Structure 1
């Protein structure tokens, strides 16, 4: 007994229980922690907010927190600090593609690794309609997230315009043509990498080379077409470019069929992504064309698609997980408001040569 009270493990029992009355649960408070640790509320608050206290006081407070089952009310603390401790992850893609595209998944995982270490919650925001755009716009404007990572932004997208207008700390993955210069981006050199792999395809002796060009309404697709055109120079034939809307297997099937209809003698193909290349391989098999003997084909991304095809795809390695990590770091830098924030980070994306060409 201590002062007429039972003791468990050296602590007054009244601090162990979290009840206001029989059968009525009560949330443990800072008062409970302070009483159990034998310190002031201010000392407890300094520990909770990352301030300095003596080692003995910190040890006592941490033990008291565990004993009374105290869980900080982060909602109240964040309201006082005007912070949500959440970062929005906005992928402006067709929702079906979100589930199929391994690159978006890798970007998301990389971003979450960094945000988790910073005690930030990543919130995924899906936009599939004008109604979604309005809803997400209200959400972002309402202060429910402290920042945003935007993937696959298109030119003049209303969400990206809003983010610039409200000054939300943000980072683009890739660089839309109308990129606000106040918002940094992380990406790769899509133009240079597309040029490099097309030149490698040319070096195998192919002469009638076409492209299945996807997502030309965003920077990645447009830049890959630019690199392809630069590599071919005067041999570029616009009739040998099949345009498709998405980096999607089914569209790869359709794009390859279109190229075969236009030029039955085609002997080389640059597909704008590995998923598109996998679909193109299906069409080539249907047409009785051997890869790489009759047609050499290359992709882009070095995703899981590249190793699932037969033969394995020659492609460009896109460091998607590192892209996500760097994007999250740039958002956190803006939130800290101390260190200079780079305007952009461009990661290496080398050619990976396999058997498809």
Structure 2
């Protein structure tokens, strides 16, 4: 006899009917946000896993489809270099296996639209990218029984197999470079606080500085866009006019910080050293060339895709969660 929780137990735990709990799992729009949250919370507490009937026999079928679901607004796919590099690599790997790719976006606000085709058998595997804390789709997919691989560590409390990059160590390397360079008035332009990768980059950076006796580092939060990098740099300059080093959680924000510093008469790196994160193409194009933490995006995307394909052909989920190293690339800005 299995001790796994049932849908009826989830419904009882959430204080709703089994029919309502079922509608939440299928992404029905006929459920209020508060009720959906109750059911997702109950799923997390009980560890409920939805059992799906297999779509065909064992082994890879010729009509399988994989969806990459990016938890960002659609316009970010065309403005953020990370997503272009990642999706291109995913498509190359899938094409080599004869599997077509579908690309979707799903913010927390649009997840009710994205969920039904994913959980109702429309796809055979999902590569989830950029899920933030309490993202309803991440919770639903974790309970769906569909083969899922998260590209990046999933939010706390959501059990999904994943591939990650060592963002924390990347932050550590940036901090140590500033310390070795004698920088002492250090600020941060961090990414979204609800994104695990952002938190890890920030934690690795500030904890390394704290071990060297530097505490109370000011942090401006951005969303990896150029405009948020400008606003973050302006905020840091108001907070600490004599700032001599800035760590930005993306190269796009770092490039914006460099431009903002120049407009205020600061020289980079003579007055202010700047380190970015990603080693995106913009890091080599701007002047001075950007010192940055390189993440192996193509290797990361390829590994996540291959592990997802493996879980689609195996009765047992591949539960290993590899972490790829990051590397500080020293150029001219720091």
TM-score (norm 2): 0.79
Instruction: Give the one of 275, 293, 314 matched to 2:252.
Output: 275
User: Structure 2 vs 1, CA of residues 332 and 218 (structure 1 numbering), >3 Å: closer, same or farther?
Assistant: same
| Among candidates 238, 243, 247, match of residue 224 of structure 2 | 247
Runs of 4+ in 1 over 3 A off after TM superposition: 78-84
The answer for the alignment partner of 1:140 in structure 2 is 118
1:252/1:275 contact within 8 Å kept: yes
Alpha-carbon offset, residue 180 of structure 1? 3.6
Contact preservation (8 Å) 1:333, 1:339: no
CA displacement at 1:96 relative to structure 2: 2.4
Alignment of 1:248-263 (within 5 A): 248-263=225-240
Match of 2:86 among 87, 91, 107: 107
Question: 2:192 & 2:258 partners in 1: Cα distance?
Answer: 19
Deviations 1:233-282 (A, max 9, x none): 131224x21122x1111110110010001111000000111000011011
Larger radius of gyration: 1
Partner of 1:298: 275
Q: 2:147·2:317 contact (CA, 8 Å) conserved in 1?
A: no
Matched, 1:184 2:161: yes
Partner in structure 2 of residue 116 of structure 1: 95
Query: 1:116 Cα deviation (Å)?
Result: 1.0
CA-atom RMSD in angstroms: 1.9
Q: How has the CA–CA distance of structure 1 residues 79 and 241 changed in structure 2, closer, same or farther, with 3 Å as cutoff?
A: closer
Contact 2:251 2:278 in 1 (8 A): yes
Partner residue in 2 for 1:161 = 139
Contact 1:268 1:297 in 2 (8 A): yes
Distance 2:156 2:260 in 1: 36
The 1-side partners of 2:316 and 2:191 are apart by: 37
Gaps of 5+ in 2: 1-53
**Which residue among 76, 82, 105 is the counterpart of 1:126?**
105
Counterpart of 2:206 (choices 212, 229, 232) is 229
Q: Contact 1:306/1:312 (CA < 8 Å) preserved in 2?
A: yes
What's the counterpart of residue 333 of structure 2?
356
Separation in structure 2 between the aligned mates of residue 206 and residue 80 of structure 1, nearest angstrom = 60
Question: Which residue of 2 is the match for residue 45 of structure 1?
Answer: none
Deviation at 1:177, TM superposition (A): 3.1
CA–CA distance in 2 between the matches of 1:128 and 1:252?
A: 22
1:343 paired to 2:320 = yes
For structure 1, list consecutive stretches of 5 or more residues without a partner in the other structure.
Answer: 1-77
Is the Cα contact below 8 Å between 1:184 and 1:330 reproduced in 2? no
| Distance change (3 Å), C-alpha of 1:138 and 1:292 | same
SS at match of 1:144: coil
CA distance in structure 1 between the aligned counterparts of 2:250 and 2:57, rounded to whole angstroms:
44
Contact conserved, 2:175 with 2:206, CA < 8 A, in 1? no
CA change 1:219–1:104 in 2 (3 A) is: same
TM-score scaled by length of structure 1: 0.74
Could you give the per-residue CA deviations for residues 145-186 of structure 1, whole angstroms, max 9, x where no partner exists? 0010011111221111111111110111111232543x3111
- Deviation readout 1:170-219 (Å, 9 max, x if unpaired): 111111232543x3111211111111111112211111011011111111
What's the secondary structure of 1:224's corresponding residue? helix
Q: Which residue of 2 aligns with 1:319?
A: 296
